[in-house]
Amino acid sequence: MSENDRRVGRFWRYAPLVVWMAVIFAASTGRLSADNTSRLIGPILHWLFPNISEAKIEIAHFVVRKTAHFTEYAVLAFLAARAFATSSHVTLRSRFFYVTLFLVIFYSLSDELHQNFVPSRTGSIYDSFIDIAGGVTALTVYTLLRRRRQGRSASVNVESSGI
């Protein structure tokens, strides 16, 4: 494999991860504060359910926002695991689970810290717990699927070798 091929492979492993981290950072700005997202979610719910109460809209808004936390960190964990598990560095590849877990925890905590400095946002350790739960869920699913796939390829290799 040429050096250029390795660079291209590295780019396609890590670029989606870096882009997604930038998306998370951008989502932590005032643009996606609760006040701004309520201006979108409320009218949609009123259009879908004309008789919906304000209390139910507030609950739905809360659920949508917390689900977004879970999902954005699940995607982060998937992209990080994908990048680290296929790394050319043996240490990253062999410890991808722990490196990914560390990245998810660190990025979640730093994201909530960042929100403390944005006037329309508030950082919350509870949101970090939701973020980490999303990351751990995706990382666990990724790891189980990877092991399953590796088990299948090992059995195919045994069968094809005539053992």
Asked if residues 40 and 130 have their Cβ atoms less than 8 Å apart, the reply is no
In this model, does residue 113 exceed pLDDT 90?
A: yes
The burial of 52, by beta-carbon neighbours within 10 Å (0-12 exposed, 13-18 middle, 19 or more buried), is given as middle
Given pLDDT bands bounded at 50, 70 and 90, which one contains residue 34?
A: low
In this model, does residue 157 exceed pLDDT 80?
A: no
Instruction: Look at residue 108 and give its three-state secondary structure.
Output: helix
Nearest Cα to Cα of residue 24 among 85, 75, 99, 97: 75
In this model, does residue 28 exceed pLDDT 90?
A: no
Mean pLDDT for all residues in the chain: 88
Q: Domain range for residue 134? A: 3-161
Asked if residues 79 and 139 have their Cβ atoms less than 8 Å apart, the reply is no
In this model, does residue 87 exceed pLDDT 60?
A: yes
pTM for the model: 0.84
Query: CA 79, CA 139: separation in Å to the nearest integer?
Result: 9
**Number of structural domains in the chain:** 1
| Per-residue tokens: 12 | 């396609």
Which residues contact residue 20 at a Cβ distance below 8 angstroms, ignoring those fewer than 6 apart? 72, 75, 76, 79
